[in-house]
Amino acid sequence: MVQTLLKRAATLFAVVALVAFAAPELAAQQINPTESSVQEEQLMRALQSGEAVSGRITIPDARAGDLIKPDNKNWAATHGGTVKTVNVVAILGMLALLVGFYMYRGKIRIDSGPSGRTIQRFNAVERFAHWLLAATFIILALTGLNLLIGRAVILPIVGESAFGTISAWGKIAHNYLAWPFMVALVIVFVAWVLHNIPNRLDIEWLKKGGGLFTKGSHPPAKKFNAGQKLIFWSVIIGGAALSFTGVMLLFPELAGTSAQWQLYQVIHAIVAGIMTAIIIAHIYIGSVGMEGAFDAMGSGQVDVNWAKEHHSIWVEEKLAREGRPAPSSGGAAPQPAE
Site residues (vs ligand HEM, CB under 6 A): 121, 130, 133-134, 137-138, 188, 224, 228, 231-232, 235, 279, 282-283, 286-287, 293-294, 296-297
Q: Helices 226-250 and 258-286 sit at what angle, rounded to 10 degrees?
A: 150
Cβ-closest position to ligand HEM: 286
CB of 336 to ligand HEM, least distance (A): 21
Q: Given the complex with ligand HEM, which of 64 and 281 has the nearer CB atom?
A: 281
Looking at this protein, which amino acid is placed at residue 252? Answer: P
Cβ atoms of residues 67 and 53 within 8 Å: yes
CB of 294 to ligand HEM, least distance (A): 5
d(Cα 177, Cα 259) in Å, to the nearest integer? 26
CB of 301 to ligand HEM, least distance (A): 11
For residue 48, the number of C-alpha atoms closer than 13 Å in the C-beta half-sphere is 9
Maximum Cα–Cα distance across the chain:
93
Task: Write the DSSP symbol of residue 34.
Answer: T
Dihedral sign for Cα 229, 233, 238, 244, please: positive
* DSSP string over 47-78: HHHT--EE---SSS-GGGGEEE-HHHHHHHHH
Q: Given the complex with ligand HEM, which of 138 and 263 has the nearer CB atom?
A: 138
Q: Given the complex with ligand HEM, which of 173 and 297 has the nearer CB atom?
A: 297
CB of 290 to ligand HEM, least distance (A): 8
CB of 209 to ligand HEM, least distance (A): 16
